[in-house]
């Protein structure tokens, strides 16, 4: 998900975060492993996808919790402008992952999905 969009978000210290992904920021696993996990989650495991004004909400089986947590751990390093919200419903219900952000973040996510569909990173 290597996008360069000209809008910005602010971090916890109020500093600007550009809407741009940097795959070299992923540490702890190869970028290819992150790409495979992303492709699996978003192209196969997602049971439903809802468009939001500033991103997407995706529904997953509760069995996908470890993969989603690992995805968030890596993705937040390379794309720090995204906000990740994980809702775990009671009684073994589905998981909802919301990926949102400032202007341009939704488009960056869409471009990343297109790259995954094409077999790229």
pLDDT tens-digit profile of 29-38?
889 999 999 9
Radius of gyration of the chain (CA): 14
Dmax over CA atoms of the chain, in Å, equals: 42
Q: What is the pTM of this model?
A: 0.85
Residue 121's pLDDT band (cuts 50, 70, 90) = low
pLDDT digits (tens, 9 = 90+) for 42-72: 999 999 999 999 999 999 999 999 999 999 9
Band (5; pLDDT cuts 50, 70, 90): very low
- Reference 98, options 43, 42, 47, 59; nearest CA is 59
Give the pLDDT band (50/70/90) at residue 28: confident
Residue spans of the domains in the chain: they are 4-117
Answer with the residue of higher pLDDT: 27 or 83.
83
- For 21, residues 6+ apart whose C-beta sits below 8 A from its C-beta are 1, 2, 3, 78, 79, 108, 112
Contacts of 10 (CB under 8 A, 6+ apart): 16, 17
Residue 3 has pLDDT above 50, yes or no: no
If we measure between CA atoms, which residue out of 97, 104, 100, 103 comes closest to residue 70?
97
C-alpha–C-alpha distance, residues 8 and 15, integer Å: 10
């Amino acid at each position: 998900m290597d996008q360069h969009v000209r809008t910005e978000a602010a971090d916890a210290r109020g500093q600007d975060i550009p809407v741009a992904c940097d795959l070299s920021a992923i540490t702890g696993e190869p970028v290819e492993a992150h790409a495979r996990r992303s492709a699996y989650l978003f192209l196969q495991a997602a049971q439903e996808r809802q468009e939001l004004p500033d991103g997407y909400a995706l529904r997953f089986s509760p069995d996908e919790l470890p993969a989603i947590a690992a995805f968030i751990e890596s993705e937040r390093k390379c794309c720090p402008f995204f906000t990740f919200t994980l809702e775990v419903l009671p009684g073994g219900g589905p998981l909802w992952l919301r990926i949102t952000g400032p202007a341009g973040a939704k488009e960056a996510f869409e471009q990343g999905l297109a790259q995954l569909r094409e077999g790229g990173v």
